[in-house]
Amino acid sequence: MTKRAENRTLAILATDGFEQVELTSPKEAIENAGGTCKIVSPNDQRIQGNKHREHGDWFDVDVKLDEAKAEDFDALLIPGGLFNPDALRRNSKALAFASAFFEQKKPVFSICHGPQVLISAGLVNGRKMTGFSAIQQDLKNAGAVVTDEPVVVDEGLVTSRNPDDLGQFNAKIVEEICEGKHAAQRESVTA
């Protein structure tokens, strides 16, 4: 097994109600490639996942959002679920944290409903993206160029639709975090 992602650290921005497998599966992929993952959350100590609509497991928070800095990480993952993105998109510190990764040209990964956070941060206009079928129109309304594919890659921004796509999504996450900064990563394209 190669350790391609050695010395790379992925920030996972999440709060209660994230779709559990959308956090655990990418985390496992990065760790299997030799990287490190840190859960960043507005919660102090623990967050609870969801397994579809049922409560899932509890996970320790590694870094409180108030103390997190994008410069301490190589990339950002925003998992979906119904409640996680909805709470994060109303949190100004979460939006600023996500925006900082774009400003620093670092890879950003988001799956399912996770791109709603990027919509609220004003980061999707002109970007090629996908997301869960229920938010694809929201992405279009915010100016994204949306296709219904398992994984869409746009200069360091990697989006995916749902847990069925995790195999392809995880492979792209590992590839992109290993590539590092993307000179063409941008916040959005102005009209």
Active-site positions? 112-113
State both tokens at 121: 């941060």
Determine the 3-state secondary structure of 111 from DSSP.
strand
Tell me whether residue 102 is exposed, middle or buried, using C-beta atoms within 10 angstroms of its C-beta: 0 to 12, 13 to 18, 19 or more. Answer: buried
DSSP 63-106: EEGGG--GGG-SEEEE---SHHHHHHTT-HHHHHHHHHHHHTT-
State both tokens at 45: 């100590």
Tell me whether residue 179 is exposed, middle or buried, using C-beta atoms within 10 angstroms of its C-beta: 0 to 12, 13 to 18, 19 or more. Answer: exposed
Contacts of 175 (CB under 8 A, 6+ apart): none
